[in-house]
Structure 1
Amino acid sequence: MPALFADWVAWLPRLLDGLWMSARVTGLSLFIGISVGLVLALTSSSRIRTLRWITILLVEVGRGMPALVMLQLVYFGLPTAGLTFETFTAVVIALSLTTAAYTSEIIRAGLRAVPEGELEAADALGVTRRDVVRFIQIPQGLRIALPTLLGFSILIFQISALAFSLGLPELLSQAYSIGASTFRYLDVLTLAGLLYLAVTIPAGLLVTQLEKRLSRHLTA
């Protein structure tokens, strides 16, 4: 056992580099994806039928396509159409598209959960529809959707491990590289799993606490 811990200490710097790469991919994908998801959530309720149906189609395609297929499509498929991306960029684009599709539904549910009375009051006061969306519906809808969005963020962090299939040096890829050179896959993958858990367990507890606080506020 002491020898195992010594090896873990030796492997840890490379795995932490991989963890940082995973965090960067996750953070950028969430920032871009949730921003696009908000736009899709708004356009999915548009009064323009064509725009609404295009949005629904994009969301259903994004939700129906596995994240691994999306990664392969962006990295290997788009170059045939003349669009070539570096590995990091391709991973961020693919995960952003997946994030946008799923979070659009989460945000749309949050927007619909805004109390109807507040929207009617704003309308009675003569507030324009654009200002109602900007200053009432979006802030409150995002607040309602926040716990679910954070829970989904944990899932995207886990899904980022699929980037090893493209050779991106994230956490799982670094673990496989060490395993290939030492033939001790169990030991190094166990350490990689512990690093994933060191992120996801505290994040999950944070989401649970946030849900409890928001539920008290909404039911008060």
Structure 2
Amino acid sequence: MSFFEDLTTYLPTLLSGLWVSLRLTAVILVVGLAGGLLLAIGSLARNRILRMIVLIVVEIGRGTPALVVLQLIYFGLPTVGTALDSFAASVIALSLTTAAYTSEIMRGGLQAVPEAEVEAADALGMSRLDALRFVVIPQGIRIAIPPLVGFSIMIFQATSLAYSIAVPELMSQAYSIGSNTFRYLSILSLAGLLYLMITIPASWMSARIERRLARHQAPVTA
């Protein structure tokens, strides 16, 4: 059987796996980015104890391999009476990793907001919370968008780790077909092409967003 015959025969199955990978990525990013923003805000809090707790959480999340977290969530939680299906376990595990990494990206964005903006909000009588909601967070997130898009691509690729707990995503489907046909080279090549169909346009979009934001954020000179 040729590569093109494999393409016509197994592409629908691989596409179904790709759809699962994309859904998994979307849910992880929604949960993980929200968690990352909360951690970023906590890392800038005035309360020293809160800052230390956030720092510990972030360092543990960044220092623990995503595959280890995935295995702990899926195989560990049932031992304490909380059974999860593989999709939910993948969302929880990879969302924790996403939150830990993106918190640093967002913290950098929040800290990049000019101090003059915060002082102006204070001069207008805005509370610290309102200044955070309406001034710091919108501008900080805008600054952080390019690296966040790049990290989102990495999370899409990391969903292949969910193969280890039987989530029927793209890599899982590719291995399943390969184990039945022993045509690993052509099937994994097809899976790689499908990953590239997503990651290459996303990388171009990230670069385009970064150039556009850099142009708008460039300082005006006399």
TM-score range, shorter chain: over 0.9
Amino acid at match of 1:105: E
C-alpha deviation, 1:102, in angstroms:
0.4
* Residue 126 (str. 1) matches residue 111 (str. 2): no
Aligned to 2:89: 90
* Residue 201 (str. 1) matches residue 216 (str. 2): no
Q: Deviations over 1:30-83 (max 9, x none)?
A: 000000110110011112222211111111100000000010010011222222
Q: Deviations over 1:83-130 (max 9, x none)?
A: 221100000000100000001110000000001111111112221111
Q: State the alpha-carbon separation in 2 of the partners of residues 18 and 145 from structure 1.
A: 30
C-alpha deviation, 1:211, in angstroms:
0.4
Q: State the alpha-carbon separation in 1 of the partners of residues 115 and 209 from structure 2.
A: 24
Q: State the alpha-carbon separation in 2 of the partners of residues 69 and 215 from structure 1.
A: 37
Q: State the alpha-carbon separation in 2 of the partners of residues 54 and 83 from structure 1.
A: 25
* TM-score, length-scaled by structure 2: 0.96
Alignment root-mean-square deviation, CA:
1.0
Q: State the alpha-carbon separation in 1 of the partners of residues 43 and 193 from structure 2.
A: 40
Q: State the alpha-carbon separation in 2 of the partners of residues 135 and 21 from structure 1.
A: 36
Q: State the alpha-carbon separation in 1 of the partners of residues 157 and 14 from structure 2.
A: 15
Aligned to 2:2: 3
Amino acid at match of 1:197: L
Amino acid at match of 1:150: V
**Uncovered stretches (5+) of structure 1, i.e. residues with no partner:** none
Q: State the alpha-carbon separation in 1 of the partners of residues 6 and 126 from structure 2.
A: 64
SS at match of 2:125: coil
Aligned to 2:154: 155
Kindly report which structure 2 residues correspond to 1:10-21, keeping only aligned pairs within 5 A, or say none.
10-21=9-20
Q: State the alpha-carbon separation in 2 of the partners of residues 23 and 128 from structure 1.
A: 40
Identity across matched positions, percent: 59
Aligned to 2:49: 50
Kindly report which structure 2 residues correspond to 1:100-139, keeping only aligned pairs within 5 A, or say none.
100-139=99-138
Aligned to 2:33: 34
C-alpha deviation, 1:199, in angstroms:
0.3
Q: State the alpha-carbon separation in 1 of the partners of residues 92 and 3 from structure 2.
A: 38
Q: State the alpha-carbon separation in 2 of the partners of residues 9 and 145 from structure 1.
A: 41
4+ aligned runs moved over 6 Å, structure 1: none
SS at match of 2:79: helix
C-alpha deviation, 1:3, in angstroms:
3.1
Q: State the alpha-carbon separation in 1 of the partners of residues 140 and 200 from structure 2.
A: 26
Amino acid at match of 2:18: L
- Which stretch of the first structure deviates more once superposed, 43-52 or 148-157? 43-52
Q: State the alpha-carbon separation in 2 of the partners of residues 4 and 207 from structure 1.
A: 32
